[in-house]
Structure 1
Amino acid sequence: MGDDGGDELTVTGTTSKWFKIKVIDWEDEASSEHFRATLTSPPGMNFDLIVYEGGLDAPDCFASGVRGQGTPESFYATWDDFPILDDHRWFSLEVRHVEGTTCGDDAAWTLTVSGNNAALP
């Protein structure tokens, strides 16, 4: 994810969960970095997507969260990629249970992260 290729990662779950995403700057030329996260909640359940932007080297534990918008909930970020500089950026993603009492596979949400290059530790 970032400025090269077109990777997409998809994960599913049934409870609240946290993820770390590193958007990697592979190119040493002026371009733009791109990152999108989309969360789809199952019928009868409501999970929120909250994204916390970090820095070049690590997630930021004190960042203010930004809620995904729309249905399904989505978050999009883009920033300039400066030549020679590493413009990597970390994001922490929180999938938070809000309401609903369905259990098992019927409660499964889907989180898709897309862009150009990604690492999902």
Structure 2
Amino acid sequence: MPVPNDNSRPPAAWCYSGNQIRRWRTLANVSREALAAAANYAPETISSMERGVRMPSPRLLDIADELCGAQGMLSAAKEYVRRERYSARGRSTSSSGSGRRRACGGTRSPSSQACCRRGPTRKH
């Protein structure tokens, strides 16, 4: 059964790709610092990508693939990480100035606690 992607989890493609980068890098005895220098990133950024917090960039996937001798296995992930470009946490939760977006999809005006879809008596 698939696990729903709630607001606290990064996309699965980011996590899996990052995990594979770390595994291939470790297998090839390439330090995080060496990969960071080759890709022109900070080591902390590489760490974030490996943990799935940031989307692994297509450039990093290609450089890691070449540096670690992954024979296209890491570069192949580019197609999948692009599908889930932004995490749910990074998306805006408000609609163009008309109030806060609710879990039900409705909005409320700043002066009212009522939700436009569920009515004034329904608390969220």
TM-score range, shorter chain: under 0.3
Which protein shows a greater Rg? 2
TM-score by length of 2: 0.24
TM-score by length of 1: 0.25
The structure, 1 or 2, with the larger RCO (C-alpha pairs under 8 Å, 6+ apart) is 1
More strand per residue: 1 or 2?
Answer: 1
